[in-house]
Amino acid sequence: MGRDLSALFDPVSVAVVGASDDPAKYGHAIAAQAIRANGRRPVHLVNRRGGTVLGRTAAPSLTAIGEDIDLAVVSVPAAGFDDAIDEALGCGARAIVAITAGFAETGEAGRMRQQAVAERVRAAGAVMIGPNCLGLADNTTDLFLASDTFTPGGVALLSQSGNLALELQLRFRPHDLGFSRFVSLGNQADVTLVDLLADCSRHEGTRAIAVYAEDFADGRAFAEAAAGAGKPVVLLTAGRGDASARSAQSHTGALTTSADVVTAACRDAGVQLVATPRELTVVLAALDGGRRAAGRRVAVLTDGGGHGVVAADAAEAAGLTVPELRPPTRQRLREALWEQSAVANPVDLAGMGEQDPGSYARTVSALLAAEEVDAVLMTGYFGGYAAADGGPGGGGGALADGEQAAASLIAAHHRATAKPLVVQSMYPRSPTCRTLTAAGIPVFEATEDAARALAATATPATPGAGGVTPLPRPAAPLRETGYLRTRRALEAAGLPFPAAREVHGEAELAAVTREFTGPYALKTLHSLHKSDAGGVALGLAGPDELLAAFREMHTRLGAPSYSVEAMADLSDGIELIVGVNRDPRFGPVAMVGLGGVLAEALHDVAFTLAPVSADRAGRLLRGLRTAALLDGVRGRPPVDVTAATAAVETITAFAAAHPEIAEIEVNPLLVRPHGVLALDSRAVLA
C-alpha cells in the first residue's frame, strides 16, 4: 500500500513558518503562493516578530495560532530549524515541508543532525519532505507551497532540481501539458522518491510521472515501484556516463558502467529513460493521451520526398521499422491519390497536398486502418499551406480553409482508432497544427522528436524488458570464493562443469591421469585472471604433456596448487560470458554476452537486474549483435539455447541469493548443440 502521504498533498490546514514580507527571502515566495488557495483550507503565516505579512496578521509562533496545524512549511535559518520542527510536531502536524538547508549536503555533522530530526518526525507519526527542498504543489487540491505557479495538467514532477521544473513549464505549453503535482525532493531524509512514486501511482489526477534524480538511494526499490506504477514513468538522470566508482576485479565489473545499470533497471521496469528536458517533454507529450502502439511498424506520410526519407531514417534510428505497405493498402492509397504519388512507404503525396489538403486526411485514414501499420508519422509542410495562402496567421482563403478542414478530419480519424499518430511540421504553431494538438495529436518541430515520440508509444522491443524479479531469500553465506570453492557451489546449484581435481605436486598429478583421461586443461589457482598471468594450458593430450606443462608453469609461477580438468571439445560450441555485479544502488546486475578471452574487446553484452528468468535470458541472448551464431553459421550446428538460458537463470539466482558476493562470473560458458559446460568461474566477496 505504501506510506500515507495525504497530509502532504491535501492537508486540513497549513502554516508557513518563516513567512516574510522581504522578497529576498524564500519564506516570502512560499507565503505568497500558499495564500492563493486560502478558500480551500486555513492558511496561517508565522513570523517570530508577529505583525503582518502580505497584509495578513502573522502569528509569532505556531503555538500562538491556538489550534492544531496539519501541515507546516519550515523556512527558517538552520539554527532555529530543530525548534521549529519540534514545535510543529507539538502542534499536531502530520506533515512537514522542510525548506531549510544546511544538513546532509554539508557533511557528516549535518547528516547526523538531519537523521535525528527525521527520527523525531517518524516517531511522532508524521512525514517530512526535505530538508533542503524547494517545496511542493498539488493543483488537484489547490495546495501551492512552492515559489512558482504550475499550469494544471496530468504530469506529476518529482525533481531534485527546481530550475528544471521552470524549464519544463515552458516546454510543456506548446503541447498543452501541465502538472498535477510538483515535489522538490531535497535530501529525502524521511519521504523518499520511492514513497512519492508509489503515492503518485495511486493519485487519480496524475496520468504520468516525470522524475529528475541525480542519484538513487535505493535504485532497486525505485525500479520495483516504477514497474508497478500502472502509468508511464519517465526518468531524466545525471551522471550516467561515469564508470562504477569501485575498482572492478572481473570482466563483468570492467564492462559494467553506471549508464549500463540505470539503462537496464529502466528497461526492466518499463521506465522511459531520457537524456534532456526536451526529450522528457517529447516522451510525455506522446504518452499523455494514453495511446500505445501494438508494435514498432511505422508508416511515414509526407508531401515532399526529402522530408519522408529523413523521417524514415529518424524512425529507424529510434528503433522503429518502416516496412513496405501491403498491396491492399497500396491499392487503397492509389485510389485516393494522384498518379505520381508514392505509396510504398514512405507515402509521398508528391505535391497533391498543396492542391488538395484533404488528401492528407484520406491518406491518414487509410494508413491508420492498415493491418501492417502500428503507428503513423506525418511529416513536412502540413500547417504551412494556410500560412502560404493568407500570411503567417493563416488569413483565410480556399487553401487555408481546406487545410483546416483536413485537420478536423485527421482529428476525427485519430479518434476512431487506438493507433498513435504523431506529426512533424515546419509550422507547429499554426492554427491547423493547434487543431491537431487540441485533439490529442502530438505535433513537433523536429523530425527526431516526432520519431522519439512514436518510439515511446511502441511496445518494448528491447530484449531485457519484463519487470523486476524480486530478490530471493539470502542463502547461507560463502566464507571463501577460491576457484574450486566457487565452482563447487555453482555445481551444487545445478550448473554443470567438466571433471576437475586440485593438485599440489606431481604425485597428485599422476593420480588424476588415472582417474580420467585427456585431453586435459591445467590452471593455476589463487590467481583471478589466470589467462593474463600465463596460468592456463589447454589441449594437453595425455599424461606426458600434462606433466611437462605442470613443470613449466610451476617453475614460472610457483603457485601452491593447480586445477587439472577434463578438456571440453570447443569445436562445435559458442563461448558466452555470464556475470553478476552487485551495484550499491540497484543490487545485483546481470551481464550476458559473447565470452571467452575476447569478452572485453568484443563488448557484445546485455544487462538486466538479477535474478534473470530463463525467458528473459533468451531475450537477452537474441538481442546480442552476434545472436546469429546461436543458430549456426558457415556449417556450424545450432547450439542449445534452452540449456544456455537455464544456465543463466541458475548463475544469476545463485548470485542474487548471496549478497556477500560483490562480483561473480562464469567465462566461458560453453554452449554446445546439446547442453552447456561452465569452463571457468570466479567470485569476489564484498
For residue range 499-513, what is the model confidence (pLDDT) as tens digits? 999 999 999 999 999
Take residue 291 and report the three cell numbers written for it: 495511446
Q: Are residues 605 and 537 in the same domain?
A: no
Instruction: Evaluate whether residue 466 is within a structural domain.
Output: no
144 DSSP β-pair partners: 137
Q: Are residues 181 and 330 in the same domain?
A: no
Q: Are residues 75 and 125 in the same domain?
A: yes
What's the structural domain count of the chain?
A: 5
Q: How confident is the model at residue 391 (pLDDT cuts 50, 70, 90)?
A: very low
Q: Of 46-55, 386-395, 407-416, where does mean pLDDT reach its minimum?
A: 386-395
Q: How confident is the model at residue 94 (pLDDT cuts 50, 70, 90)?
A: very high
Q: Residue 460: its pLDDT value, please?
A: 66
Residue where a domain terminates, one of 457, 490, 514? 457
What is the DSSP-derived secondary structure letter of residue 398?
A: H
> Which amino acid is residue 653, in one-letter code?
A
Backbone angles phi, psi at 350, to 5 degrees: 55, 45
The pLDDT tens digits for 483-497 are 889 999 999 999 999
Q: How confident is the model at residue 528 (pLDDT cuts 50, 70, 90)?
A: low
Instruction: Please say if the pLDDT value at position 334 is more than 80.
Output: yes
CB 370 within 8 A of CB 333: no
Q: Residue 248: its pLDDT value, please?
A: 39
Q: Are residues 286 and 312 in the same domain?
A: no
Instruction: Please say if the pLDDT value at position 251 is more than 50.
Output: no
The pLDDT tens digits for 555-591 are 988 889 999 999 988 888 999 999 999 998 999 999 9
Is 94 exposed, middle or buried (CB count within 10 Å of its CB: 0-12, 13-18, 19+)? buried
> Which amino acid is residue 448, in one-letter code?
E
Q: Of 259-263, 593-597, 675-679, where does mean pLDDT reach its minimum?
A: 593-597
Take residue 607 and report the three cell numbers written for it: 544487462
432's enclosing H/E stretch is helix 431-438
Rounded Cα distance between 11 and 6, Å, is 7
Q: Residue 633: its pLDDT value, please?
A: 83
Q: With pLDDT > 90 as the criterion, what percentage of the chain qualifies?
A: 80
Q: Are residues 406 and 305 in the same domain?
A: yes
Backbone angles phi, psi at 638, to 5 degrees: -65, 155
Q: How confident is the model at residue 295 (pLDDT cuts 50, 70, 90)?
A: very high
Q: Using DSSP bridges, classify how beta strands 127-129 and 95-98 pair: parallel, antiparallel or unpaired.
A: parallel
Q: Using DSSP bridges, classify how beta strands 375-380 and 95-98 pair: parallel, antiparallel or unpaired.
A: unpaired
Which residue blocks in 228-257 are alpha helix, DSSP H? 251-255
Take residue 462 and report the three cell numbers written for it: 528491447
83-86, long-range: CB within 8 Å, 24+ apart, which pairs? 84/17, 84/18, 85/117, 85/120, 85/121, 85/128, 86/120
The CATH number covering residue 611 comes to 3.30.470.20
User: Of 152-156, 352-356, 379-383, which has the strongest mean pLDDT?
Assistant: 152-156
Q: Residue 518: its pLDDT value, please?
A: 86
Determine the average pLDDT of the residues in 7-16: 98
Instruction: Please say if the pLDDT value at position 623 is more than 70.
Output: yes
Is 271 exposed, middle or buried (CB count within 10 Å of its CB: 0-12, 13-18, 19+)? buried
Q: Are residues 6 and 119 in the same domain?
A: yes
Q: Are residues 285 and 299 in the same domain?
A: no
Residue where a domain terminates, one of 433, 457, 481? 457
Determine the average pLDDT of the residues in 660-686: 94
Rounded Cα distance between 72 and 87, Å, is 10
Instruction: Evaluate whether residue 91 is within a structural domain.
Output: yes
The pLDDT tens digits for 175-212 are 999 999 999 999 999 999 999 999 999 999 999 999 99
What is the DSSP-derived secondary structure letter of residue 391?
A: T
The CATH number covering residue 196 comes to 3.40.50.261
> Which amino acid is residue 651, in one-letter code?
I
Q: What's the distance, CA 259 to chain centroid?
A: 10
Rounded Cα distance between 108 and 120, Å, is 19
Angstrom CA distances, 324 to 25, 334, 379, 412, 472, stand at: 62, 15, 18, 26, 47
Q: Are residues 453 and 554 in the same domain?
A: no
Q: What's the distance, CA 494 to chain centroid?
A: 33
Q: How confident is the model at residue 101 (pLDDT cuts 50, 70, 90)?
A: very high
Q: Using DSSP bridges, classify how beta strands 127-129 and 143-146 pair: parallel, antiparallel or unpaired.
A: unpaired
Q: With pLDDT > 70 as the criterion, what percentage of the chain qualifies?
A: 93
Instruction: Evaluate whether residue 140 is within a structural domain.
Output: no
Q: Are residues 362 and 335 in the same domain?
A: yes
Cβ-proximal residues to 87 (8 Å cutoff; 6+ apart), any chain: 61, 62, 63
* Domain region containing 542: 499-566
Q: Are residues 259 and 283 in the same domain?
A: yes
CB atoms within 10 A of CB 205: 17
Instruction: Evaluate whether residue 672 is within a structural domain.
Output: yes
Residue where a domain terminates, one of 290, 307, 331? 290
**Who wins on pLDDT, 447 or 39?**
447
- Report helix, strand or coil for 485: helix
CB 2 within 8 A of CB 195: yes
Give the CA angle between residues 604, 467, 278 to the nearest 5°: 75
The CATH number covering residue 33 comes to 3.40.50.720
CB 415 within 8 A of CB 439: yes
Q: Are residues 276 and 306 in the same domain?
A: no
Instruction: Evaluate whether residue 474 is within a structural domain.
Output: no
Rounded Cα distance between 504 and 336, Å, is 83
Determine the average pLDDT of the residues in 108-130: 97
The CATH number covering residue 548 comes to 3.30.1490.20
**Who wins on pLDDT, 412 or 525?**
412
Instruction: Please provide the distance, in angstroms rounded to a whole number, between the alpha carbons at the two ends of the chain.
Output: 33
Is 580 exposed, middle or buried (CB count within 10 Å of its CB: 0-12, 13-18, 19+)? buried
Q: Are residues 407 and 279 in the same domain?
A: no
Instruction: Evaluate whether residue 656 is within a structural domain.
Output: yes
Q: How confident is the model at residue 393 (pLDDT cuts 50, 70, 90)?
A: very low
Instruction: Evaluate whether residue 143 is within a structural domain.
Output: no
Q: Residue 386: its pLDDT value, please?
A: 67
Q: Residue 410: its pLDDT value, please?
A: 95
Take residue 430 and report the three cell numbers written for it: 499554426
Instruction: Evaluate whether residue 473 is within a structural domain.
Output: no
Residue written as cell 553478476? 580
What letters, b where the CB count within 10 A reaches 16 and e where it falls short, cover 106-139? eeeebeebbeebbeebeebebbbbbbbbbbbbbb
Rounded Cα distance between 130 and 85, Å, is 12
Q: Residue 529: its pLDDT value, please?
A: 67
670 DSSP β-pair partners: 575, 677
Determine the average pLDDT of the residues in 614-619: 95
Determine the average pLDDT of the residues in 69-77: 97
Determine the average pLDDT of the residues in 447-460: 93
The pLDDT tens digits for 207-249 are 999 999 987 779 999 999 999 999 999 999 875 554 433 433 4
